[in-house]
Chain A
Amino acid sequence: MVRKLSRRVYLTVMLIFLYAPILTLVVLSFNASKSRAKWGGFTLKWYKQLFSNEETLNALYTTLLIAFLSALIAVILGTLASIAMNSMKKKPRALLMAITNIPMLNADIVTGISLMLLFIFVNVVFRTRIRLGFTTVLLAHITFNIPYVILSVMPKLRQINKNTYEAALDLGASPIYAFYKVILPEIFPGILSGFLLAFTMSLDDFTITYFTTGPGIETLSTQIYTEVRKGIQPEIYALSTLMFAAVLLLLVFVNRKSAVKEKE
């Protein structure tokens, strides 16, 4: 009895700790009063203002575009990399897996600064004129997304019976035909969750974007940061709430999918 009760209490306290800040944010985004200390009634006006703000809409567009493109390119590169790694011997594969996992654990700020330095360095050495901006942010996002793709595609590849691909060849399929007809459909669930995960990570990112972006290019997160420095407007609560909701939805979707798969 007592154990059960204490377990409940613990869980509740933990959830409050985790979600209280976000809950505050969500509540304030519907607060008609500008004051953070007073409830002025329910309103959607901050959301309306948000969507009539051109800068915000621009940032939203950039964010979605970068998320989509970076996830797409990361999925292609990551899947190819996984296939190559899967056909390696055990030791080099384990080593490469570890190497690809490290960037995920690396502090964002380190990744961000290193990428920024790399872009500048390339400019200096190769006398190119890559300007920090859309392209560099996109490249940065592709970079940090690839490990997530590998992480979700690799287990699917490992599950495939080694003989399945050979069976396709045996029945007369060329290697490319065998890949499209046999391997790709088998690993598609992994590719899809890799894409969604990458998309979410890209939406979510502030630090790396902040260091690799340049003048004129804002994503939602850098936009919020800029706004906040000017002074916090309730509009920001609305925007943050929306971002939270979007990421939450995506994650629920990914988890549901893998839960259903596991049941099968």
Chain B
Amino acid sequence: MANKLVDLQNISKAYGDNVILDDLNLYIKENEFLTLLGPSGCGKTTTLRIIGGFETPDSGKVIFEGKDISKLPPNERQLNTVFQKYALFTHMTIAENIAFGLKIKNKSRQYIKDKIEYALKLVNLKGFENRSVDSLSGGQQQRIAIARAIVNEPKLLLLDEPLGALDLKLRQDMQYELIRLKNELGITFIYVTHDQEEALTMSDTIVVMNQGYIQQIGSPEDIYNEPQNAFVADFIGESNIIDGIFVQDEVVEICGKKFACVDKGFGNNTPVDVVIRPEDIDLVDPKEGTITGIVKSLLFKGVHYEMEVEANGRDWLVHSTDLSPVGAMVGIKVDPYDIQIMKKPESEDEEAVVNDEQ
């Protein structure tokens, strides 16, 4: 296993009575692309700012390359940040912006010049040296912010929703560029976003957060296919989250019907949450289905059709490339390994689950 580059140990942070992070534990491996994913206000930025040194945790330690840097001011940390609103220096030219960190480190003129050229090439903005910040579009400004950070050759780059202000097309282009950059530079990225698609596209590891607690840590595939609780399932892509009863190992009862599944050990006759992805539901002939229902609505979504099927008193969201017209009787079938069983949260409103696993 690769080394831990950053290790957050028992981090807690509150603003007044408002507890943002409560005993958070998380490590980031060298050369990893790790994404903090969660709804707005869940504490992603706060976590990032604690790593960057802009906030001090009330308790806990930030370990960087084995050393405790909790008390180190931001200017003495071997990492750089790309802020959401770019935060370029508007009274300086692009070249001066990029040179800012290098001048502080007393690099030679030639070195700085070469670095600027290299960085601008890397972010596809060759020849922008003498442009003013105001003359650049949002996407271009964000690239400059990235260039300004990476010329310092940090071990770790922190990115706080860097694509949040860009429109969809540009955002997708930039996602690919960021992955390319990361691979070319070989630095560790900690990336913050509330956009699950972005997280799934870019990350090696996703950390799903809610209300300051880590809900699940895993690869994009893990998170998508095996959400550990209803929050993760709901947040990552569209899902059918259904109340069920775990009858016995490999059997779960949903809407009064028994389905075969692959999970074991939830305890016989225990209420559980069942997650079924819309694309994992097969619509078949009513005779062959475990449950039968009626198609209530149909939407064409480009790659697939989205259908709502009413069956046994609830609506099932179904994605399929095959069309079933509205009003048709259909059978619902789900393969055992497409059924994901999760423990119910302890209480109704306990959405945020404390999760120490990693």
**Chain A residues proximal to chain B, CB less than 8 Å:** 161, 163-164, 166-175, 177, 181-182, 185-186, 264
Question: Of B81-89, B198-206, B328-336, which binds chain A?
Answer: B81-89
Q: Check if B80 is an interface residue, CB within 8 A of chain A.
A: yes
Can you pick out 16 interface pairs between chain A and chain B where the beta carbons lie within 8 Å of each other? Answer: A161-B86, A163-B87, A166-B52, A166-B83, A167-B83, A167-B88, A167-B89, A169-B75, A170-B81, A171-B75, A171-B80, A171-B104, A172-B101, A173-B104, A175-B75, A185-B91
Interface centre among A161, A170, A175, A186 (most CB of B within 10 A): A170
Q: Check if B337 is an interface residue, CB within 8 A of chain A.
A: no
In whole angstroms, how far apart are the Cα atoms of A245 and B89 in the complex? 39
Interface centre among B81, B145, B148 (most CB of A within 10 A): B81
In the complex, are the beta carbons of A170 and B90 less than 8 A apart? no
In the complex, are the beta carbons of A167 and B87 less than 8 A apart? yes
In whole angstroms, how far apart are the Cα atoms of A8 and B152 in the complex? 63
**Chain B residues proximal to chain A, CB less than 8 Å:** 52-54, 73-75, 80-81, 83-91, 100-101, 104-105, 134, 145, 148-149, 152
In whole angstroms, how far apart are the Cα atoms of A175 and B91 in the complex? 18
In whole angstroms, how far apart are the Cα atoms of A3 and B152 in the complex? 65
- Tell me the number of A-to-B contacts counted with CB atoms below 8 Å: 63
CB distance from A176 to the nearest CB of B (A): 11
The A interface is mostly helix, strand or loop, or mixed, namely helix
In whole angstroms, how far apart are the Cα atoms of A175 and B53 in the complex? 13
Chain A residues contacting B87 (CB-CB under 8 Å) are 161, 163-164, 166-167
CB distance from B304 to the nearest CB of A (A): 40
CB distance from A125 to the nearest CB of B (A): 41
| Other-chain contact of A173, B53, B75, B88, B145 (Cβ < 8 Å) | B75
Known contacts A164-B89, A172-B105, then 18 further A-B pairs from the complex at CB < 8 Å, ordered by chain A residue: A163-B84, A164-B87, A167-B81, A167-B87, A167-B148, A168-B89, A169-B74, A170-B149, A171-B100, A172-B75, A173-B100, A174-B75, A175-B75, A177-B104, A181-B89, A181-B100, A186-B89, A186-B90
